[in-house]
Amino acid sequence: MQRASVSIPTNIAEGSVKTSNKDFARFLEMSIGSSLELETELTIALNLKCIDSMVFESIQNKIIELQKMITGFKNKLD
pLDDT tens readout for residues 62-77: 999 999 999 999 999 9
> What is the C-alpha to C-alpha distance for residues 37 and 71, in angstroms, rounded to an integer?
16
**For the whole prediction, is pTM greater than 0.95?**
no
DSSP states of 5-71 as a string? HHHHHHHHHHHHT-SSHHHHHHHHHHHHHHHHHHHHHHHHHHHTTSS-HHHHHHHHHHHHHHHHHHH
Q: What is the pLDDT of residues 23-36, one digit of tens each?
A: 999 999 999 999 99
What domains, with CATH codes, occur in the chain? 2-77 (1.20.1440.60)
Does 78 have pLDDT greater than 90? no
pLDDT in tens, 44-56: 999 999 999 999 9
7: confidence class by pLDDT, cuts 50, 70, 90: very high
